[in-house]
Amino acid sequence: MFGHRKLRALSTAAPPSLEIHLVRHAQAHNDNGIDTHGPELTPHGRRQARRLAKRLTGAQYTGIYSSDLTRARQTADAIALHHADNLLTVTRDLREVSGQHTALHMSRLTINSDRSLIEEQQAMHRVINHLRETHEQGERVLIVSHGNITRSLIPLLGGLAPAKAPLLEIYNASLSIVDAWPSGRAVVRLANCVAHLPERLIT
């Protein structure tokens, strides 16, 4: 009898999660500090973006979100070509603070960069709240942004402070997957995957 009850308990299905695909933009030219929306993708980066888009062709997204910086937008556009039913949402909230990260020790930050990092984290919370309010459990969404944003979103989705989370290597055009629940619990199912890229295209 005890064994029967244990078997029934183990067979209980877990509630569906909101599946969040996190993509870092493909390789871009060096930032010249002139273009307000940053540099465009390099030819190498465009090849990366096409490979990534092909990998994600079969995914069914109920929303695609992109940073408004050119390198992320061009990567998102390459993916969105294969998902005509999705309205691509471009938002400034997914921008990163150039050259900085919330895991940096405060003594290494200036007052202005410290303030920018706080604003960046507030923006990420707005993104997460929007996802939870707009999308239902069992749906899948795609976010195309930047390495530092991806590194911060992963712990934030699980209710953790990015400054206390281990730093992850995030390659250009890589894919990470996080399952998130309304309770605030989240599980990283895949991190920094570039299986869609041949070795010569990994940057």
Print the domain residue range for 178.
23-201
Distance between CA atoms of 203 and 200, rounded to whole angstroms?
8
In the chain, what are the helix, strand and coil shares in percent, each to the nearest 5? 40, 20, 40
Number of separate domains in the chain: 1
Residue-by-residue pLDDT tens, the chain, 203 positions: 445 455 455 545 678 999 999 999 999 998 766 677 889 999 999 999 999 999 999 999 999 999 999 999 999 999 999 998 878 999 999 998 755 554 444 344 444 556 677 888 899 999 999 999 999 999 999 999 999 999 999 999 999 888 777 788 999 999 999 999 999 899 999 999 999 999 999 99
Distance between CA atoms of 114 and 110, rounded to whole angstroms?
6
Q: For position 105, what pLDDT does the model report?
A: 43
Q: For position 114, what pLDDT does the model report?
A: 64
Distance between CA atoms of 60 and 16, rounded to whole angstroms?
15
Question: Is 126 among the domain residues?
Answer: yes
3-state secondary structure of 200: helix
Question: Is 18 among the domain residues?
Answer: no
Distance between CA atoms of 106 and 161, rounded to whole angstroms?
14
Distance between CA atoms of 155 and 201, rounded to whole angstroms?
28
Question: Is 100 among the domain residues?
Answer: yes
Question: Is 184 among the domain residues?
Answer: yes
> Helices (DSSP H) in the chain: which residue ranges?
2-10, 43-55, 70-80, 111-134, 147-157
Distance between CA atoms of 144 and 66, rounded to whole angstroms?
5
Cβ of 63: how many Cβ atoms within 10 Å? 18
State the greatest distance between any 2 C-alpha atoms of the chain, in Å, as a whole number. 73
Question: Is 7 among the domain residues?
Answer: no
Question: Is 146 among the domain residues?
Answer: yes
Q: For position 106, what pLDDT does the model report?
A: 39
Q: What is the CATH number of the domain that holds 152?
A: 3.40.50.1240
Question: Is 9 among the domain residues?
Answer: no
Closest CA to 101 of 187, 165, 180: 165
Question: Is 187 among the domain residues?
Answer: yes
